[in-house]
Structure 1
Amino acid sequence: MAENTADAGRPAAGAAHEVTHTITVAAPAKAVYDLVADVTAWPQVFGPTVHAERLGLADGQERIRLWAFANGEVRNWTSLRQLDPAGLGVSFRQERSSSPVAAMGGAWRLTEQADGTTLVELDHYWRAVDEDDEQAVRWIERACDRNSTAELAALRAAAELGDTAGELSFSFEDTEEMPGADAAAVYAFLHRSDLWPQRLPHVSRLDLTEDEDGVQTMEMDTLAADGSVHTTKSVRLCFPDRIVYKQTGLPPVMTAHTGQWLFTPVEGGVRVTSRHSVVLDPAALAAAFGPDTDYAQARTTVRDALGINSRTTLRHARAHATPGENQ
């Protein structure tokens, strides 16, 4: 897994293309580095990243798997990364790429400036499966440019929040024990979200597409307690033991909302957990509630709203999958 960070950003043999994107961030380099290094938090920081998993970590070397949007399509790949906190850099190389990409690598390079800001340089080198396929080459160029530009802007926004970031980000979960429930039926209830308008009282409309097996996109109208309707859009990754999602169309007070439905077999039934990670939008909160917004109260309000819907879904899933139980 080892990679030499001294060579960070230098193209590997056979790379046909090189590109660098840059941005200046009004935050200390160490704070910016921490955001780049923690790949598990990328879905909450970077818009294009849907889900990230750390597959192994030892001595600053890690293997990761990412699911991310590329030109509107969800793609996934496995990468090797070398973390260099002392040198404020992270080099990476895709171990398994997604067509039309044959190979891709690069580096994040952070340089603290004299005025206390940080220059961030994001290098990529890559090669297409067929370099003579101009359409494929242009597709990779667009994806690399769009994602890099979006990621750098999001990195700056997150880093410049400073200490406020901790007040705006939070996670929580709700768990339902389902003794006697059929685990496959519970999973099917949550997987077949297209049936939720007939099954859940708070869902009035849901459009679901699954162009690729296990990757769903959904647009949902949810009824609030006051009778208002809120529309959200999400992409979901359906694994055998969990369903992971990221909202791509968000309520106005959030900049990020990701979650998981987790299924744990227990004796005689199944335990299902609904997990949420949320980042609130300080500008939207200020516009809605004034400049002296109580962030703790805002977190509680959002947690309550999301939790009510999750717990309702869990109860109906239990009733659906448990013989003899009525809703």
Structure 2
Amino acid sequence: MSVERVHRTTHEIAVAAPASVVYGIVSDAVRWPLHFPPNIHVEQLESDGRQERLRMWATANGRTKSWTSRRVLDGERRRVEFRQEQSAAPVKTMGGTWIVEPLGATESRLVLLHDFTVEGDSAADVAWVEQATDTNSRTELASLKNLAERWARLDDLVLSFEDSVRVDGPAERVYEFLYRVRDWPELVPHVTRLDVVEDEPGVQVMSMDTRTADGSTHTTESVRVCFPHAGRIVYKQTVTPALMSAHVGEWQVVPDVSGVTVTSHHGVILREENIRQVLGENADVATARAYVRGALGRNSTATLDLAKKYAEGGTCE
């Protein structure tokens, strides 16, 4: 029986923010898709406040991977240890530790350690995992630094909102409409182009052009993870419009005794440095919040109304 070598990596970054702020971002894994570019979706399967079990989806070298992990959170020492239960090939085992070291009242060092083995230990597969680990670690640390150093302003820059419609029709028909994203250019007027690849059932990688109210076109790229039995589709935009540095969302279909409620959820972080370039010299964060809320809400509501019509037996034309 072959014994694979254990490979180890270390990444670290200095952050001009209190250690408690940095640890808060690291420990809140459910919000990582909004905070860290590689993370698509995180489901917390179990938690007792100190230990948790997570199902995670993330990009690695341009491919979407999924695994389950267990984490141990130590708030006093500001450490989070993690170990994958079920890894995604070619990884055989993966674990590590987040370590937050206070350097003063407003300065910290964040260290991220990984150890992993690769099935068969082939040089090509080891190189692939090393590249993915290095790229994602650097991206996550840089994103965390950017967030933590603006922590006092995040309440202004982060938006979270939802829109809902009631449907007098079967939940399965609503979900079918939302899932059939490849047909949206024919069904949804504000979608002018959409390419989708679904190599793994329920994981859709898509590129989409949408028309805004002023007639301009925005190109976005997203990964969607579909949960048909739960009536949910979650997504992360991996290429966002100029006003957003991050955008995550969820379509949720909830039946009850009198019908179905369909809800579109959005989470956004504004790209503050682009506000005046996009909206004009007099625009500020409040202007951008209103603009993004309106634009996303109009498109979501239009799609929800079409899903309602489809489920209630009408056409989407």
What's the TM-score once normalised by structure 2's chain length? 0.94
Whether 1:225 aligns to 2:213 is yes
The SS at the match of 1:248 is: strand
Q: What's the CA shift for 1:304?
A: 0.7
Structure 2 residue identity aligned to 1:273:
T
Q: Deviations over 1:51-78 (max 9, x none)?
A: 0111111141111111000111111111
Letter in 2 for 1:62: E
2:197 is equivalent to residue 209 of structure 1 = yes
Q: Report matched runs for 1:1-327 at 5 Å.
A: 16-114=6-104, 116-131=106-121, 133-179=122-168, 181-240=169-228, 241-288=231-278, 293-323=283-313
Taking the aligned partners of 1:317 and 1:100, their CA distance within structure 2 comes to 39
Deviation at 1:287, TM superposition (A): 4.0
**AA aligned opposite 2:101:** T
Instruction: List alignment gaps of at least 5 residues for structure 1.
Output: 1-12
Give the secondary structure class of the aligned counterpart of 1:76: strand
Say whether the 8 Å CA contact 1:190–1:317 is kept in structure 2: yes
- Sort the Cα spacing of 1:211 and 1:36 in 2 relative to 1 into closer, same or farther, 3 A: same
Would you say the 8 A contact 1:65–1:78 is kept in 2?
A: yes
Relative distance call for 1:28 and 1:212 in structure 2 (3 A) is same
Q: Secondary structure at the match of 1:130?
A: helix
Question: How big is the shift at 1:170?
Answer: 1.4
Q: Distance in 2 between matches of 1:280 and 1:193?
A: 26
Amino acid at match of 1:221: D
Contact 2:205/2:224 (<8 A) preserved: yes
2:155 counterpart SS class = helix
Could you give the per-residue CA deviations for residues 68-122 of structure 1, whole angstroms, max 9, x where no partner exists?
0011111111111111111111111111111111111110111111473211110
The match for 1:5 is: none
Q: Which shifted more, 262-271 or 185-194?
A: 262-271
Q: CA deviation at 1:231?
A: 1.1
Question: Matched residues in 2 for 1:264 and 1:134: separation?
Answer: 48
Aligned residue for 1:7?
none
Which TM-score applies when normalising by structure 1?
0.91
- Unaligned stretches of 5+ in structure 2? none
Which residue identity lines up with residue 33 of structure 2 in the other structure? P
Q: How far apart are the structure 1 equivalents of 2:294 and 2:35?
A: 23
Counterpart for residue 4 of structure 1: none
For 1:6, the equivalent position in structure 2 comes to none
Report how far residue 162 of structure 1 moved: 2.3
Structure 1 residues 59 and 271, CA gap change in structure 2 (3 angstroms): closer
How many angstroms apart in 2 are the aligned matches of 1:246 and 1:46? 11
> Deviation of residue 326 (structure 1)?
7.8
Shift of 1:295: 2.0
CA distance, structure 2, for counterparts of residue 264 and residue 23 of structure 1:
43
How many angstroms does 1:18 deviate by? Answer: 1.0
The Cα of 1:301 is off from its aligned counterpart by 1.4
SS at match of 1:307: helix
Distance in 2, Cα, partners of 1:325 & 1:286: 41
- Aligned-residue identity in percent: 46
| Worse-superposed segment, 313-322 or 114-123 | 114-123
Structure-2 separation of matches of 1:119 and 1:293: 35
- Contact kept, 8 Å, 1:15 with 1:125, in 2: the verdict is no
Cα deviation per residue 1:139-166 (whole Å; 9 max; x = unaligned)?
1111111110110010101101121111
Using the TM superposition, give the Cα deviation of residue 289 of structure 1 relative to its aligned residue in structure 2, in angstroms. 5.1
Whole-angstrom CA distance in 2 between matches of 1:128 and 1:151 = 22
Measure the CA separation in 2 of the matches of 1:190 and 1:51: 18
CA-based RMSD of the aligned residues comes to 1.8
